[in-house]
């Protein structure tokens, strides 16, 4: 096990009716800006609950943070927040609204342009932020990451700031999610676990089993929740799986990969593909490409998660990859570039971008532009 420092400062407030807790959690006298996406919260009652809970506060609303939040939109929010002297932010929505609000929280205290913050990659001078989560997927509700896009240049980069001070997770608000978003949320959670798990065995028995516990839970509930979203117990499990998938609890002392995500971000930047659907295309291809290196962990995963016990290591690894791809397809998600009409020109462009940035991703920093091209060739 490697050395590590672990601290997760987010207070989790979980369960039915918990949005009402907002009034208690936000310090009195704060000038609050509440941020939203495109309006789903108006249809499912979340907006009304938030408005009621914030009745005693001076509130400014900012609407229109889109999926894969754009710096062009967030600049508007920062301008408005500065004008209103905002000193507390409440993100009400999915990963996109929370991520976008993380950039706003840094941008409010920054003189320059918000894109500079994104390219610096890190800014911990922020206005406090909290969240009401409406879609289980990213873990943004309990981590310090954000992924921000720039429309003008078709780019998408990760940026790190501070965790939300608290996040409210009421599983009933997920009942209105479309099937596609549930499927993408399951895939995103599954791949977050994999980015922290699928390296080499023997680093931590505990981390491995926590990770496998999340994977097994997802596989068990997935068929039910993609078909029917209003089962409280199932959605509660899904919500907690997603949060635990990327709040760094399963990453203590172990090496991490993240190359699937970094290639996936390029597919979103260039084609607008939903985040979860980029991952289901890239990860099986990455495993096919780096099978030799990841063999021992693929075998462990195959045995413990899919019950694969027969054959040579190579055959067992192939079977584990095939079972994973079949699982993604069973959720209605793409697993090949052709499923998303993505061709060779995109592969060439990603290789070019990675080379230009001197990319060296993955647990061994060996996923360069050339390796990314080989991975994408294996996603055809």
| Interface residues toward Zn ion, by CB under 5 A | 188
Cα–Cα distance list, 354 to 129, 149, 153, 349 (Å): 33, 17, 15, 9
Q: How far is the CB of 275 from Zn ion (least distance, A)?
A: 6
Q: Please state, in angstroms and rounded to a whole number, the distance separating the CA atoms of residues 104 and 162.
A: 12
The residue count for the chain: 380
Q: Three-state DSSP class for 308?
A: coil
Residue choice 62, 88, 94, 328 for contact with ligand NZQ (CB under 6 A): 94
Near ligand NZQ by CB under 6 A, which window of 180-188, 207-215, 296-304, 359-367? 180-188
Q: How far is the CB of 68 from Zn ion (least distance, A)?
A: 12
Can you list the alpha helix ranges (DSSP code H) found in 84-161? 95-107, 114-120
> Binding to ligand NZQ by residue 68, rule CB under 6 A?
yes
* Radius of gyration of the CA atoms of the chain, in A: 20
Q: Please state, in angstroms and rounded to a whole number, the distance separating the CA atoms of residues 289 and 207.
A: 25
Q: Which is nearer to ligand NZQ, 280 or 300 (CB)?
A: 280
> What residues between 226 and 285 interact with ligand NZQ by CB under 6 A?
246, 261, 275
Q: How far is the CB of 283 from ligand NZQ (least distance, A)?
A: 12
Q: Which is nearer to ligand NZQ, 37 or 284 (CB)?
A: 37
Q: Three-state DSSP class for 361?
A: strand
Q: How far is the CB of 288 from ligand NZQ (least distance, A)?
A: 22
Q: Nearest 5°: phi and psi at 174? A: -85, -5
Q: What is the DSSP letter of 289?
A: H
- Neighbouring CB atoms inside 10 A of 315's CB total 13
Q: Which is nearer to Zn ion, 99 or 155 (CB)?
A: 99
Q: Which is nearer to Zn ion, 99 or 188 (CB)?
A: 188
- Cα first-last separation, the chain: 36
x/- contact string, 28-47, with ligand NZQ (CB under 6 A)? ---------xxxxx--x---
> Binding to ligand NZQ by residue 146, rule CB under 6 A?
yes
Q: Three-state DSSP class for 306?
A: helix
Q: 295: closest CA among 268, 318, 322, 272? A: 318
> What residues between 195 and 214 interact with ligand NZQ by CB under 6 A?
none
- Neighbouring CB atoms inside 10 A of 19's CB total 23
Q: Which is nearer to Zn ion, 170 or 188 (CB)?
A: 188
Q: Which does 35 bind (CB under 5 to 8 A by kind): ligand NZQ, Zn ion, none?
A: none
Residue choice 107, 139, 284, 334 for contact with ligand NZQ (CB under 6 A): 139
Q: Which is nearer to ligand NZQ, 189 or 335 (CB)?
A: 189
Task: List the beta strands (DSSP E) in the chain.
Answer: 11-14, 31-36, 58-62, 88-93, 129-133, 145-150, 155-160, 166-169
Q: Which does 140 bind (CB under 5 to 8 A by kind): ligand NZQ, Zn ion, none?
A: ligand NZQ
Q: Which is nearer to ligand NZQ, 67 or 199 (CB)?
A: 67
**Footprint of ligand NZQ (CB under 6 A):** 37-41, 44, 67-68, 93-97, 99, 134-135, 137-140, 143, 145-147, 173-174, 176-177, 181, 185, 188, 246, 261, 275
């Amino acid at each position: 096990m490697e050395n590590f420092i672990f601290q997760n400062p987010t207070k989790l407030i979980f369960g039915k009716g918990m949005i009402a807790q907002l009034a208690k959690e936000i310090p009195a006298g704060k000038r609050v800006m509440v941020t939203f996406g495109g309006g789903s919260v108006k249809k499912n009652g979340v907006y009304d609950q938030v408005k009621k809970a914030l009745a005693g506060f001076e509130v400014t609303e900012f609407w229109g943070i889109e999926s894969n939040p754009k710096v062009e939109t967030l600049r508007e929010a920062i301008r408005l927040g500065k004008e209103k002297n905002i000193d507390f932010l409440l993100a009400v929505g999915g990963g996109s609204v929370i991520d976008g609000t993380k950039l706003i929280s840094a941008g409010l205290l920054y003189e320059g342009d918000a894109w500079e913050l994104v390219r610096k990659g890190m800014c911990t001078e922020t206005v406090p932020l909290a969240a009401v989560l409406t879609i289980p997927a990213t873990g943004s509700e309990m981590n310090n990451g954000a992924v921000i896009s720039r429309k003008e240049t078709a780019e998408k980069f990760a940026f790190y700031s501070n965790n939300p001070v608290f996040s409210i997770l009421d599983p009933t608000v997920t009942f209105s999610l479309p099937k596609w978003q549930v499927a993408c949320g399951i895939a995103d959670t599954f791949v977050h676990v994999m980015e922290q798990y699928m390296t080499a065995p023997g680093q931590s028995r505990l981390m491995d089993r926590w990770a496998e516990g999340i994977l097994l839970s997802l596989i068990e509930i997935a068929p039910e929740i993609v078909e029917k979203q209003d089962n409280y117990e199932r959605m509660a499990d899904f919500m907690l799986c997603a949060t635990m998938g990327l709040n760094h609890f399963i990453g203590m002392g172990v090496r991490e990969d993240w190359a699937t995500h970094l290639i996936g971000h390029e597919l979103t930047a260039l084609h607008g593909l939903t985040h979860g659907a980029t991952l289901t295309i890239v990860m099986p291809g990455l495993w096919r490409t780096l099978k030799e290196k990841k063999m021992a962990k693929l075998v462990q995963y195959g045995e413990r998660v899919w019950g694969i016990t027969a054959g040579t290591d190579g055959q067992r690894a192939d079977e584990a990859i095939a079972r994973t791809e079949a699982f993604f397809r069973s959720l209605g998600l793409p697993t090949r570039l052709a499923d998303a009409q993505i061709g060779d020109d995109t592969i060439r462009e990603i290789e070019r971008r990675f080379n230009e940035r001197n990319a060296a991703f993955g647990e061994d920093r060996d996923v360069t532009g050339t390796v990314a091209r080989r991975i994408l060739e294996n996603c055809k």
